[in-house]
C-alpha cells in the first residue's frame, strides 16, 4: 500500500499561506494528501490593511486576532497548521531604514531558528516542502529569514548527526520556491481585463516592472488548480485584518482569473528524486518512491 503523501508549506506570517500556493494546497487536500502549514511568526507587527478594522480595539488585540484568523483560514483550506513561535520583525520603512526590533525573527541565529522546523519535519515527515526564494518572494525581513531557516532545516532534517535531540532523521524529497507573480501572469491577467472591457488593476504594476527581473523563466512546475481559486480567496478573506475585501486582490473576476492563468507556479530548488522538467505536480517523482519509504 502506497504511503500517505505529505506536503509542508513554510510561511513567514499568518495570511501568507492564503496568498501563496493556497489553491495548490486545497487541491492536494482534496486528493487525500496530508498538508501542514508552518507559520514562523505570529504576525504581531503586521499592518491592518482593511480600513473597516483599523480601530484601536483591533490594534490592542492584534496578536490574538491574527491567530483566530489563521484558525479560520486553516479550516477553509482543510490543512493542519503549526506555529514556530517567533516574533514578527515588522517591515522597516524610511531612509535610512531603522534597526529591526530586538528579539524578532529576522535577527535570530539561523542554526538556532532552524531547530523547531527540523523537529516539525522529523515529526510530520513531509515528502515535499514549499517555501520562499532567496529574496523572500519580496524583501520582507521575515520572508528572507523564512527562506534561510527552510533551507537549513531541509538540509539538516535527514542528517542523524545534526540536531540529534530533535527526533529521528527524515529527509524530505523535494523543496520548491513559490513563484507567486511572474511578468507573464500579470500580463495575462492585465490583457484579459482589457479584453473584457474592464479597468485593469495591473497598469501601474506593469510600469514599475520594467526595471525589475522577471522570475517567470525560473518556473519549473505549474500546478493546475483553477477550480480551487475560490477556496484560496475565501481563506484570504478570513485574514480580515490583512486583506480589504473590496481591494486590489479581488478586482479581477474569478472566471477571468481561472481562464487567463489557471495554475500556481513553483521553482524546484532541491530534489532527491528524478522528475523531468517542466512538471505539473509537486509530487512528480515522489509518488513512485513514497511507498518504499
CA gap 44, 22 in Å, rounded: 22
Q: Does the annotation place 16 within a ligand binding site?
A: yes
Whether residue 178 contacts residue 225, with contact meaning beta carbons closer than 8 Å, is answered with no
CA gap 291, 268 in Å, rounded: 22
CA gap 292, 116 in Å, rounded: 27
Q: Does the annotation place 251 within a ligand binding site?
A: no
- The DSSP code sequence of 205-229 is HHHHHTTS---GGG--EEEE-GGGH
End-to-end Cα, the chain, rounded Å: 11
- Closest by CA position to 182, among listed 222, 148, 151: 222
C-alpha grid cell, residue 177: 520556491
- Closest by CA position to 7, among listed 80, 72, 83, 86: 80
Q: What sign has the CA pseudo-torsion 247, 215, 16, 34?
A: positive
Radius of gyration of the chain (CA): 19
- Closest by CA position to 118, among listed 54, 60, 167: 167
Please give the torsion angle defined by the CA atoms of residues 274, 269, 122 and 71, in that order, rounded to the nearest 10 degrees: -120
DSSP state of 204: H
Q: Does the annotation place 190 within a ligand binding site?
A: no
CA gap 135, 36 in Å, rounded: 23
Binding residues for Zn(2+): 13, 16, 143
Binding residues: 13, 16, 143
Amino acid at each position: 500500500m502506497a504511503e500517505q503523501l505529505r506536503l509542508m508549506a513554510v510561511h513567514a506570517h499568518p495570511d501568507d499561506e492564503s496568498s501563496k500556493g493556497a489553491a495548490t494546497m486545497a487541491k492536494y487536500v482534496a486528493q487525500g494528501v496530508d498538508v501542514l502549514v508552518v507559520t514562523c511568526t505570529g504576525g504581531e507587527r503586521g499592518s491592518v490593511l482593511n480600513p473597516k478594522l483599523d480601530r484601536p480595539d483591533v490594534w490592542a488585540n492584534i496578536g490574538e486576532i491574527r491567530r483566530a484568523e489563521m484558525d479560520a483560514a486553516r479550516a477553509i483550506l482543510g490543512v493542519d497548521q503549526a506555529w514556530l513561535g517567533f516574533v514578527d520583525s515588522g517591515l522597516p520603512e524610511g531612509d535610512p531604514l531603522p534597526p529591526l526590533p530586538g528579539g524578532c525573527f529576522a535577527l535570530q541565529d539561523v542554526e538556532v531558528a532552524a531547530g523547531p522546523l527540523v523537529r516539525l519535519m522529523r515529526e510530520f515527515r513531509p515528502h515535499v516542502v514549499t517555501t520562499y526564494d532567496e529574496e523572500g518572494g519580496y524583501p520582507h525581513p521575515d520572508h528572507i529569514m523564512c527562506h534561510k531557516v527552510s533551507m537549513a532545516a531541509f538540509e539538516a532534517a535527514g542528517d542523524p548527526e545534526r540536531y540529534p535531540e530533535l527526533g529521528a532523521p527524515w529527509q524530505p524529497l523535494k523543496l520548491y520556491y513559490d513563484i507567486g507573480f511572474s511578468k507573464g501572469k500579470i500580463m495575462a491577467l492585465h490583457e484579459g481585463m482589457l479584453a473584457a472591457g474592464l479597468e485593469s488593476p495591473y497598469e501601474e504594476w506593469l510600469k514599475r516592472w520594467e526595471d525589475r527581473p522577471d522570475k517567470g523563466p525560473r518556473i519549473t512546475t505549474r500546478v493546475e488548480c483553477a477550480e480551487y481559486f475560490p477556496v484560496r480567496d475565501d481563506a484570504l478573506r478570513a485574514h480580515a485584518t490583512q486583506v480589504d475585501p473590496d481591494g486590489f486582490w479581488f478586482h479581477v473576476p474569478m472566471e477571468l482569473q481561472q481562464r487567463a492563468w489557471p495554475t500556481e507556479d513553483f521553482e524546484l530548488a532541491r530534489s532527491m528524486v528524478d522528475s523531468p522538467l517542466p512538471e505539473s505536480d509537486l509530487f512528480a517523482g515522489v509518488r513512485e518512491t513514497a511507498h518504499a519509504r
